[in-house]
Amino acid sequence: MSQIQELEDDEWFEEWLETFGDDGHYDDLMFGAELKKASKRVLRHNKTNKAQNTFRNRKVVLRQFLEFCDYYGVDPLNLEETSADDDLVVEDWKNIMLDQDYAPRSVRNKLYALSSIYQRWESRGYVDSNPVEDVDDIDDLERTRLEEHSTKEYLSVDEYEQILDACDILRDRILIQLLWECGLRAQEAIEVTKHDIDRENRSITIENVKDGKYKSKDERTVYYSWSFERLLVRWFDDGERLKYLGTEEDKDKDEKHLLVTKQAPQMAIGRVNEIVNERAEAAGIQETIYTDKSGRERNQIHSHIFRKSYGVHRTKKGMPIAYLTELLGHSDIETTKEHYLKFRDDDIEEAEREYSSMI
């Protein structure tokens, strides 16, 4: 690493250290040089090898866990020596987050992120084992806060068409149709490039971005309609996409991402939900279901509901669960069954009641 790179590396790390504690600095904590070195190493690894959003998430999770350990007087690198039971430290952190009204799925994702950090520390000899592996029921932390407040689990075809009709910008129409037809996570959608799209086969190679147990393999293939192909003709072949790349700097940085903005040659993940919200509101079908702890309104229609709708409608039409598992990028068929088979059961119950009334 060059001296310039090392200085830049130190700069981002020092900024992270300043986010700690009531007085805003890591030095207020009880831990010393070894933990600082271990923290810098694991975060540098994430900075270099992970997506920006993942790196940002890992910084937050590590800070939160270190502050928790400091408050209770345990050393994250020596849990077995500074606590009665090392896995109970992580268990207590989990329970406190739930008590503080974090959504169960958010807690689960934080635990997955912490597990990744400990795996890295274990591989580098900072710890002997990963304490997160001993915590029970992490996979049962499934429901999001949105799901707890909303009874709406998926979009009807009519609702989707209303949102699509409200898209008066080609780029937004491409986003909405991509989410609906391919069942992508928002992070996966913004990572799609022109090179990932097989126009002849009408398919897209997707890099799975989900961390934790629910990640199956590195890539999967999804498929799109002739209608979407016609949008791609206008977007790529007729030059509509280039209108978003106004400056030479943008063009130099262009990696041919499908989704772009006039501010950047790759759409930010937050912009995905903004567009979904704008178009659902324009269609007159958006609804605010609660206000979160930071005062932000949370809406019933969001980017992930398109992924859920993708699975639900294919389940209702009888798609084999094994195929759906592959298309959604789940790690195993049981995950898909847990989330989607109930909708097929609903149809069976409805049909049984309809036909039994005729007897």
Domain shared by 131 and 173, yes or no: no
Give me the pLDDT at residue 211, please: 44
Give me the pLDDT at residue 223, please: 96
Q: Which residue has the higher pLDDT, 141 or 277?
A: 277
CATH of the domain at 229: 1.10.443.10
Domain shared by 69 and 157, yes or no: no
Domain shared by 107 and 155, yes or no: no
Domain shared by 136 and 178, yes or no: no
**pLDDT tens by residue, 24-54:** 445 555 567 888 889 889 888 888 888 888 8
Domain shared by 223 and 256, yes or no: yes
* Domains held by the chain: number: 2
Q: How far is CA 337 from CA 34, 69, 156, 319, in A?
A: 45, 37, 21, 12
Domain shared by 93 and 113, yes or no: yes
Q: Tell me, letter by letter, the H, E, C secondary structure of 148-168.
A: HHCCCCCCCHHHHHHHHHCCC
Domain shared by 86 and 161, yes or no: no
Domain shared by 274 and 138, yes or no: no
Domain shared by 129 and 27, yes or no: yes
Domain shared by 164 and 298, yes or no: yes
pLDDT band at 278 (very low <50, low <70, confident <90, very high): very high
Among 128, 143, 158, residue at a domain's last position = 143
Give the integer Cα–Cα distance in Å for 267 and 350.
Answer: 42
Q: How far is CA 298 from CA 110, 285, 293, 294, in A?
A: 20, 14, 11, 11
**pLDDT tens by residue, 290-332:** 776 667 777 889 888 999 899 999 988 889 999 999 999 887 7
Whole-number mean pLDDT of the chain?
81
Give me the pLDDT at residue 36, please: 86
Strand partners, 298: 290
**pLDDT tens by residue, 178-230:** 999 999 988 899 999 999 999 999 999 998 765 443 344 578 999 999 999 99
Among candidates 184, 143, 179, which has minimal Cα distance to 160? Answer: 179
Give me the pLDDT at residue 359, please: 54
Domain coverage including residue 78? 3-143
**pLDDT tens by residue, 113-138:** 999 999 999 999 998 988 888 887 77
Domain shared by 80 and 98, yes or no: yes
- Contact (Cβ atoms closer than 8 angstroms) between residue 152 and residue 300: yes
Give the integer Cα–Cα distance in Å for 115 and 117.
Answer: 5
Among 99, 123, 143, residue at a domain's last position = 143
- Contact (Cβ atoms closer than 8 angstroms) between residue 211 and residue 116: yes
Domain shared by 174 and 308, yes or no: yes
Among 92, 120, 143, residue at a domain's last position = 143
